[in-house]
Every structure is written in C-alpha cells, then in structure tokens.
Amino acid sequence: MIINMTDSHTLSVAQIKAFLKVDSAIKFRAVSKKEKYKWIDDVLTKFRYFSLRKKDKGIVRNYIVKMTGLSKSQVDRIILRKRKFGKVFLKSTSRYHFPKKYTPIDIALLIKTDNAHNRLSGPATKRILKREYEVFGKKEYQNISQISSAHIYNLRGTRQYISHSLTIKKTNPTKVQIGERRKPEPQGKPGYLRVDTVHQGDYGKKKGVYHINITDETLQWEIVGCVERISEYYLEPLLEDSIEQFPFKIINFHSDNGSEFINKVVAKLLNKLMIKQTKSRARHCNDNALAESKNGAIIRKNMGYLHIPQKFAPAINQFYKQYFNIYLNYHRPCGYATIITDKKGKQRKVYNTYQVPYERFKSLPNAKQYLKPKITFEMLDRIAYQKSDNDFAQEMQKAEERLFKNFKHIPKEMMEFTTFISHAYVD
C-alpha cells in the first residue's frame, strides 16, 4: 500500500510512537527527492529534534526512516547536516565518473573465453586474450587483450558476467536428513541418552583409541565403551552392545553433529531398535553439555591424557564392561540438581542430592515401568549389593592397574604419574 507522504495529523512524539506500530506493509512516497529532504527539514524543526531526550530522538528518527524509506545511516547523515548547517539540503556537486574502458562486447569475449577454458586464473586468462589478438589475429580482442590480471576479477564480479557465465555456480548446501535438531526433553523419565567421543591422544602419526561415552540425562546412568577407530565398522557393534547394557528402555539418542553418529549405519541401527535420534542445534553449546562434562570428570580422570595404541581397545572395552560401568552406575554417587526459583523468577540449580544412579533409578515413581523386558530389580540388586562401594572401587582400581601395565610404550615414570593423577582427584 503506497501513500503520499504527509504528517499533517501527527502532533506529538507520543502520537508518532503509536503511529510507528502501524503495519510495515504501508509505504510512503515523495513526489521528488527535493520534497523528501524539505519534509525531513520541517520535521526536525517542528519537533525541535536537538533538544529532545535521547529516547524521543530515536522515535523521531525511526519515524523519518519509515516515512522516507531511507536507511538509518542515511538519516543520521542528514541529521548531522542539519546540526552543522542548520538546514537539510541536497548536495548539488556531482561526482566525476570515469568512462568505461571495457564494453559489454569485451565482457562477452571474456565470458566466451572463461566458458571455453572452465575459468582459469587471471594471469592465464590474460595470456589467452592476448594470444587471440596477437597470435591468431582476431581484431575483436584488441581492447580486452590489454586488460590487467587484477581487473579480470573485477569484470567477473559484474552483473552481466554472472548472468551469462557458465562457470559460476553457487554452492548448494548439503542437508543431512538424519536426526532432528532439537534439545530432548525427558521430563524426569529415563531413556534419553547423550553420547560423545573422547580421543586418547596421538603418538607421532599414530592415532590412539576412542572412548564412546553414553549418559542418560535423567539418571546419569553411564555406559562407556572403547573402539580402535570411529568408523561404522567398529561403532555399530559397540553401540548395539552399549545400548543393551542399559537396564531400562531407550527412547532417545542425542549427539553432536559429528559424522561418527550422524550417518546411515547408526540411523539404521536406531530405527531397528525404535529409538528416536536427535542432534545438537546450531549455536546451542549446552545441548550436549552433560556428556561433555562426563568426558572430563569420568574418562579423563581415570584414563588420563597419554596416548594408548589402538590395539588395546578390546582390552579397555572389556575392562569397561566388567568393572568400570558397574562401578559408575552402582557404586559412584552423582550430584542431582534441585531447581530453585526466586521471587524475580530467576532459576538456579542447587546440588544437595547425591545418589548412585541405581538408587536414583529405584526412587522414580513406579520405576518398574521403565525396565526392559525380562529385567527385574531383584536381578539388579544382586549386582548392586554384592560388594560395598569401597570394596568394588578397590577391585576396579586393581583391574585398572593391571590394564595399564599392558601399555608398555609409556615410560615408567610417566606411567606412575598417570596412575597417581587418575586416583588423586576427589569429586
């Protein structure tokens, strides 16, 4: 909708503020540029712009932008001219325009050359244009043959070149239609997993093992595995085995956007198990924060940072399955947040509840409904209460020490330091 520019009914800054809320589809038109600048001058004078408060100045400036269609930076320059000279006026001085040396015919010859040679570099293209005129005697190339290498790139950016060249194609973004970009909302229910990968360092050009860390968001029930490489060949059986180790039904599988989890093999596995797959949103670094925090507090604390050769991945995975995962879920307490909301509505988390994940699982209302078929709490109790927390932790440490003795590539003094670091920290 186009309306001729007028403000005959606008009497105050408050009325302008209400007017600005009008549908943005309405556009205003001035008869000429001179009339537009005169109207701006009248508005600035009428409202005594320079004596207004900062907030009111913003309202008047937005009003001018809406009525004239100019940008904010243009209006700012006009207001500055009003302050400096006391009046808004059109600059009568016209800029000097250099004549165009290369005509549309020359640009067409450049396009023809680029299409024939699949757009070579500027110097190579210049050489071809020069040869067309000097060596092969094509007179139409006389003017364009004098072009500099740098100006070839300028001509390639013109609208005429882009619209007729066959060598310019915009990059088509590739969308991976695997997983949904959203943060899972478990609402206090188990079965919503967060997964991340931890690399055990390099040794020269040799890669170390990869730890796969899977954590339930509600219970902090954690299953850790180890593979030689993060390819589908190694990951598929590990993920299937890791998911099988969870005693409750799995509903959701969430990861970052890494290709080790966002691929057809993992998607097929999750579809077979009827598990929904999601992935982290762009610019939302907290979407997978739980798994990433466990990487440092669990994996790095126990396995350290030193390089471990890939051949030890099966032994580490066996240690995880036989000792470490049992220790994490039945004997190691985790902090569970209580969200407190103050009078202003601000929320903060207080960690005053510490339980082992198994205790947390059993404390859920009607917890039996979440168990997998053929699994009972009586079966899980035998695992949880067969040994005390300290007894099992000591047994796990001895198994870890036996495991680390196999890593003979690590110097003895570094091995002792790693073992010390692994057990020196206290949560």
Span(s) in the chain for CATH 3.30.420.10: 180-424
Name the token pair of 17: 């503020």
Q: Once rounded to an integer, what is the mean pLDDT over residues 267-293?
A: 85
Q: Residue 173 phi/psi, 5° resolution?
A: -65, 140
d(CA 261, CA 44): 61
Does residue 99 have a pLDDT over 50? yes
**Tokens encoding 403:** 């495991």
Give the whole-angstrom CA distance, residue 90 versus residue 81.
10
Sign of CA dihedral 260, 264, 268, 274: positive
What CATH class does 180-424 carry?
alpha beta
Where does residue 290 fall: left (phi above 0), alpha (psi -120 to 50 degrees), or beta otherwise? alpha
Question: Given its phi and psi angles, is residue 188 left (phi above 0), alpha (psi -120 to 50 degrees) or beta?
Answer: left
Interval 302-348: pLDDT, tens: 888 888 888 899 999 999 999 999 999 998 888 888 888 888 888 88
Q: Rounded CA gap, 336 and 354, in Å?
A: 6
pLDDT band at 419 (very low <50, low <70, confident <90, very high): very low
- Residue 116: band (very low, low, confident or very high) from pLDDT cuts 50, 70, 90: confident
- Whether residue 235 has pLDDT greater than 50: yes
Host H or E run for residue 207: strand 206-207
Are 184 and 285 a contacting pair, CB within 8 Å? no
> Which residue type, as a one-letter code, is found at position 186?
P
